[in-house]
Each structure stands twice: as structure tokens, then as C-alpha cells.
């Protein structure tokens, strides 16, 4: 029995590829966002498929209809595309295959591998309590011979004896005693198919040869194997369970406590290259310890055999560092193009954006930012009118005794210096000398006057990009304010 006949044909509109390399799948449940752990699973599946000339199937495990909303599915597809992870088949949706799951469930019942159960949860709990057993189903209906009917769940009859061994490519052999596994439900009492049934039927129908997924699924795998055997499909897939991701306190990542949403990183201006590079290193490393790797280098070097089974520390600080490295690797035009969506969404009027001014300053900015969203703050002084001043910094600097004189001297000197970074630098150094200050001290009030902030790109690049007229105007305004402070 089963969906796959002896020639390897797959039914139900699921496409078949004969021969060739391994068939992998990424099977997210749409929950509203893509977790970094799921993204890593997607990446590892993709890397194996690409490296070994296999096929990657995308499957949406959306049987939990109330939770799996359409825009969430769109969101997952969108983030995967952004990461650069394409798929060869799908997305297949479990929500369209209910009849198929029921058909397999029915066959399992007829062959005696599954049985109907009319126990309510309360009844199960009460019996456990009365017997002083831990909560869980006690196989009450296993020998009652119930047929299908309303309010009857279908349960899988797990063998009462023996062991099931999962041969995991990362963890080695993991053996489970069958007696410890519960008679898990395949269909809910309302007839809805449940996770393991759908997961196994799909892997069989989609002719999956390699299951690469998070370690949180390892306890499901002995049940998966028993069910697979009962369905009598093709040879069992190989398994690789990926190490858990933990935070700096070695706790499993939690969506409430830790920054785990890939979408948020994207919105903050992380590069997909940096994301993939960093995710690849969570549990895996190349033989030569090279850290910065392009996608095609990852494809060339990746292997599941080198994946570690110890939990992997997901370190947002390190991810940010990688992002900076990747930002600096972009060629100037690509950097500017990647900044564009962030600049377009920025808080100045659309017609205030001046591409030439941005182009002038972009190289200095590219050297300094950790994320693309930081670019906005670094260049906003070019496009804001009036300038937004960091008022607290201004209040403090305006009280410093040397400030008015520095601003006045800069105003005078900048009026006829050649308007380029180098001469501006020399002119400002002369002002600092004359005032007996370090260059850095003299720069602070000038920077604040013309950019509104205390940190940003190098002052002389900033001045050059801003242009003489606007710089002088801003100095005048600051001199006025300092006089009345």
C-alpha cells in the first residue's frame, strides 16, 4: 500500500523526479514569521540539495487551519526568497491534502495498525490520576474493537515490545523503547489529520530521501519510523537532527525573550549574505576555519557529517559583526542600491533626497555601519531641513566656553576654503591649534552644528557632501543659538 507504487510514481499531483540525487524538504508550519532556527534548517536542506545535485521540496504544514493564515505563508516564501534559498518543487500545502491523509488513515485502520478511540481527555486524565500514573493515554481502546464513528479519534498501535533505533547522521544511533511511546493520534475525534500522519504521508508521497530538521523533532522520529513501516512505503529516509539554538545563558531560544524573527533582521538592514553565512556556522564549520563564506562557497564545503551535536550559541552580536563585514564587501554601487529602500522609507520628504550628495558620502558610511537601517541616521543631515538637532548634546556643548569661538572661526575659515575634505581638514586643524584644542575637541561643536549629531561619518566628508552654502547657513544658525544660550 502507499502513495508510491513500485515504479516510484507519486500520486496526488506531487511531481516525480526519477533517479538523480537526494530529495530533501523544508516543511515549515506557518506561525506568522520565520524563526532563525527554521531558517537554518531551510539553509542546511538547501545546501545539501545544491551540493549533491538533489531537489528541495517546499511544503507548508498548514493543517492547523486556524493558525496558518495565508499572509503567513506568503511571508515565509518572501523571506526564503530574500535569503536566496530557492526550491525545486512546491510549495505543497497540507491543507489541500486532507482526503489523502484520511485515505491512508483508513488503510492503517483496516490493516490493524490503528484503532479508533472514544476516550475524552477528561476520562484519560481521570484514569491516570486514579491509578497514580503520569498523564498520558493508557491504550484503553486498543482492544475494544471500535469502528469509525463520530467523536472517535484514530490512534496508532505502537508495538508494546521491542525498540526503535533512529540512525541519525549527526547524533549517531538513538534507541527508544517502544513501550515508552504513546499510542499517538493520527486523526482527531473530529476527523482532522494530525502532524505525524501528514508529515510521514507527505515524506512518502514526495519521495523524500533525507530529513534534515531541528532536534526538537527527534522524540517524534521513532513514531515516524513505526508509522512509515506500517504504511509500507519506500525505504526510510535518512535523518539528521540539527543541534538546538541557545542564547548566551544556554537557554533554548524563545520568541518572547530572544530576537529570533528573520523578518526583523531584514527590516533592520541585515544582508541576506550575512544571515546565511552566520546561520551556516551555527553547528557547522568548514575544514579550514574560514569564517566569511559566500553561498556558493558554502555549497562547495557544507556537509552534514561536520555538523556538531552540541547546542549552538545564536549570538546576535556576532551576527551584527558579520553583517558589518558583509556590508563592507559590497561594491559601492551595490551598497547604495541596498540602502535605497531604507532611504526611501526615511522621515524626510521624498523630493529632499539628493542622490549625488548620498553618493559622495556613501563610501565613508559603508565603512562604519553595522546595519543598513543605521545609514539613515548617518546621512539624514543631508536631507533634513530644518536640521534635527540632538538637543541634549547641544545644551551641553553650547555651555562649553570654547564653543562660540570655534563656530565663529569655522564660519570665517569655511567661507573661502576650497570645498573638499582635505582643505577642510587642514582649515579645521588650524582653528583647533589657534584655540589650543585637540582637533577632535574642535570638531565636536562644528559636527553638531552641521549634522545635528555627535557621531556620524567623518566630519570633512560630511561637510563636503553637504555643500558650502548649507554648511555656512547651519553654522550661522548655531552661532546665533549659542549667543542666546
- Count CB neighbours of 233 within 10 A: 21
Angle between helices 459-466 and 468-484 (to 10 degrees): 110
Residue among 40, 55, 58, 61 that touches ligand GLU (CB under 6 A): 61
What residues from 214 to 233 belong to the interface with ligand GLU (CB under 6 A)? 217
| Locus of grid cell 478511540 | 117
* Residue 69 vs residues 91, 194, 197: alpha-carbon distances, Å: 15, 18, 21
- When asked if residue 168 is in the footprint of ligand GLU (CB under 6 A), the reply is no
What residues from 429 to 448 belong to the interface with ligand GLU (CB under 6 A)? none
Instruction: Work out how close the CB of 37 gets to ligand GLU at its nearest, in angstroms, rounded to a whole number.
Output: 9
Instruction: Work out how close the CB of 224 gets to ligand GLU at its nearest, in angstroms, rounded to a whole number.
Output: 8
Contact call for residues 170 and 240 (beta carbons, < 8 A): yes
Catalytic residue chosen out of the listed positions 129, 223, 255, 396: 255
Q: Is 255 a catalytic residue?
A: yes
From CA 174, how far away is CA 110, in angstroms rounded? 31
Q: Would you say 181 or 475 has its CB closer to ligand GLU? A: 181
Q: Backbone phi, then psi, for 58, in 5-degree steps?
A: -105, 125
Q: Would you say 37 or 452 has its CB closer to ligand GLU? A: 37
Q: Write out the E strands in 227-339.
A: 238-242, 245-246, 312-313
Q: Would you say 27 or 271 has its CB closer to ligand GLU? A: 27
- When asked if residue 199 is in the footprint of ligand GLU (CB under 6 A), the reply is yes
Instruction: Work out how close the CB of 61 gets to ligand GLU at its nearest, in angstroms, rounded to a whole number.
Output: 4
Q: Would you say 42 or 442 has its CB closer to ligand GLU? A: 42
Type and span of the H or E element at 319: helix 316-329
Q: Would you say 41 or 362 has its CB closer to ligand GLU? A: 41
- When asked if residue 336 is in the footprint of ligand GLU (CB under 6 A), the reply is no
Choices 22-30, 132-140, 297-305, 416-424; region in contact with ligand GLU by CB under 6 A:
22-30
Contact call for residues 189 and 153 (beta carbons, < 8 A): yes
- 313 strand-pairing partners: 246
Distance of CA 243 to the CA centre of its chain: 16
Q: Would you say 224 or 270 has its CB closer to ligand GLU? A: 224
What residues from 89 to 148 belong to the interface with ligand GLU (CB under 6 A)? none
Instruction: Work out how close the CB of 213 gets to ligand GLU at its nearest, in angstroms, rounded to a whole number.
Output: 4
Residue among 14, 27, 201, 339 that touches ligand GLU (CB under 6 A): 27
**Which strands, in side-by-side order, build the sheet including 210-214?**
89-93, 55-60, 23-26, 210-214, 238-242, 163-168, 172-177
Choices 26-34, 148-156, 435-443, 473-481; region in contact with ligand GLU by CB under 6 A:
26-34
Q: Could you tell me which residues come within 8 angstroms of residue 398 by beta carbon, excluding any fewer than 6 positions away?
A: 481, 482, 485
Choices 23-31, 116-124, 225-233, 362-370; region in contact with ligand GLU by CB under 6 A:
23-31
Instruction: Work out how close the CB of 239 gets to ligand GLU at its nearest, in angstroms, rounded to a whole number.
Output: 10
Q: Would you say 211 or 365 has its CB closer to ligand GLU? A: 211
Q: Would you say 224 or 414 has its CB closer to ligand GLU? A: 224
Instruction: Work out how close the CB of 309 gets to ligand GLU at its nearest, in angstroms, rounded to a whole number.
Output: 17
Choices 27-35, 127-135, 231-239, 388-396; region in contact with ligand GLU by CB under 6 A:
27-35
Residue among 22, 28, 90, 452 that touches ligand GLU (CB under 6 A): 28
Instruction: Show the CA angle centred on residue 368, arms to residues 298 and 465, nearest 5°.
Output: 130
Q: Would you say 199 or 371 has its CB closer to ligand GLU? A: 199
Give the 3-state secondary structure of 163-183.
Answer: EEEEEECCCEEEEEEHHHCCC
Type and span of the H or E element at 380: helix 373-383
- When asked if residue 213 is in the footprint of ligand GLU (CB under 6 A), the reply is yes
- When asked if residue 282 is in the footprint of ligand GLU (CB under 6 A), the reply is no
Instruction: Work out how close the CB of 60 gets to ligand GLU at its nearest, in angstroms, rounded to a whole number.
Output: 9
- Count CB neighbours of 313 within 10 A: 14
Contact call for residues 215 and 243 (beta carbons, < 8 A): yes
Residue among 10, 16, 17, 29 that touches ligand GLU (CB under 6 A): 29
Instruction: Work out how close the CB of 301 gets to ligand GLU at its nearest, in angstroms, rounded to a whole number.
Output: 24
Phi-psi region of 85 (alpha: psi -120 to 50; beta: other; left: phi over 0): beta
| Locus of grid cell 476527523 | 191
Choices 3-11, 24-32, 261-269, 350-358; region in contact with ligand GLU by CB under 6 A:
24-32
From CA 167, how far away is CA 162, in angstroms rounded? 16
Q: Could you tell me which residues come within 8 angstroms of residue 125 by beta carbon, excluding any fewer than 6 positions away?
A: 135
Q: Backbone phi, then psi, for 246, in 5-degree steps?
A: -125, 160
Instruction: Work out how close the CB of 107 gets to ligand GLU at its nearest, in angstroms, rounded to a whole number.
Output: 22
Interface residues with ligand GLU (CB under 6 A) are 27-29, 61, 199, 213, 217
Catalytic residues: 255
Amino acid at each position: 500500500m502507499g502513495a508510491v507504487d513500485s515504479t516510484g510514481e507519486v500520486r496526488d499531483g506531487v511531481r516525480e523526479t526519477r533517479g538523480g540525487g537526494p530529495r530533501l524538504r523544508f516543511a515549515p508550519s506557518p506561525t506568522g514569521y520565520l524563526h532563525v532556527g527554521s531558517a537554518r534548517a531551510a539553509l542546511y536542506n538547501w545546501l545539501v540539495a545544491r551540493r549533491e545535485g538533489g531537489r528541495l521540496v517546499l511544503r507548508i504544514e498548514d493543517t492547523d487551519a486556524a493558525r496558518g493564515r495565508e499572509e503567513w505563508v506568503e511571508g515565509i516564501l518572501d523571506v526564503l526568497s530574500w535569503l536566496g534559498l530557492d526550491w525545486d518543487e512546491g510549495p505543497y500545502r497540507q491543507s489541500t491534502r486532507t482526503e489523502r491523509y484520511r485515505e491512508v488513515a483508513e488503510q492503517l485502520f483496516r490493516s490493524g495498525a490503528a484503532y479508533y478511540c472514544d476516550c475524552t481527555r477528561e476520562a484519560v486524565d481521570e484514569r491516570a490520576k486514579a491509578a497514580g500514573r503520569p498523564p498520558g493515554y493508557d491504550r484503553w481502546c486498543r482492544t475494544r474493537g471500535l469502528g469509525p464513528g463520530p467523536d472517535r479519534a484514530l490512534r496508532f498501535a505502537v508495538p508494546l515490545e521491542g525498540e526503535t533505533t533512529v540512525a541519525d547522521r549527526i547524533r549517531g544511533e538513538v534507541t527508544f523503547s517502544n513501550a515508552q511511546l504513546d499510542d499517538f493520534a493520527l486523526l482527531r475525534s473530529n476527523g482532522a489529520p494530525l502532524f505525524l500522519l501528514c508529515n510521514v504521508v507527505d515524506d512518502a508521497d514526495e519521495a523524500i530521501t533525507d530529513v534534515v530538521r531541528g532536534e526538537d523533532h527527534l522524540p517524534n522520529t521513532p513514531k515516524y519510523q513505526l508509522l512509515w513501516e506500517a504504511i509500507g512505503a519506500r525505504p526510510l529516509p535518512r535523518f539528521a537532527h540539527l543541534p538546538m539554538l541557545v542564547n548566551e545563558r544556554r537557554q533554548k531560544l524563545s520568541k518572547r525573550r530572544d530576537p529570533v524573527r528573520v523578518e526583523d533582521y531584514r527590516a533592520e538592514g541585515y544582508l541576506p549574505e550575512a544571515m546565511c553565512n552566520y546561520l551556516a556556522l551555527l553547528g557547522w564549520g568548514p575544514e579550514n576555519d574560514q569564517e566569511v563564506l559566500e553561498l556558493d562557497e558554502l555549497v562547495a564545503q557544507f556537509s552534514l557529517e561536520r555538523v556538531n551535536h552540541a547546542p549552538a550559541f545564536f549570538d546576535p552580536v556576532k551576527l551584527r559583526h558579520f553583517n558589518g563585514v558583509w556590508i563592507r564587501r559590497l561594491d559601492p554601487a551595490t551598497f547604495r542600491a541596498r540602502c535605497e529602500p531604507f532611504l526611501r522609507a526615511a522621515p524626510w520628504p521624498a523630493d529632499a533626497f539628493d542622490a549625488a550628495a548620498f553618493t559622495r558620502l556613501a563610501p565613508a558610511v559603508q565603512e562604519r555601519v553595522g546595519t543598513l537601517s543605521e545609514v539613515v541616521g548617518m546621512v539624514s543631515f543631508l536631507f533634513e531641513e530644518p536640521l534635527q538637532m540632538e538637543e541634549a548634546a547641544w545644551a551641553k556643548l553650547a555651555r562649553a566656553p570654547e564653543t562660540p569661538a570655534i563656530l565663529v572661526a569655522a564660519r570665517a575659515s569655511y567661507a573661502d576654503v576650497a570645498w573638499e575634505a582635505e582643505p577642510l581638514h587642514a582649515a579645521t586643524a588650524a582653528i583647533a591649534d589657534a584655540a589650543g584644542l585637540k582637533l577632535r575637541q574642535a570638531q565636536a561643536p562644528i559636527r553638531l552644528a552641521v549634522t545635528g549629531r555627535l557621531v556620524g561619518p567623518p566630519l570633512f566628508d560630511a561637510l563636503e557632501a553637504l555643500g558650502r552654502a548649507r554648511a555656512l547657513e547651519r553654522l550661522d544658525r548655531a552661532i546665533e543659538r549659542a549667543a542666546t544660550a
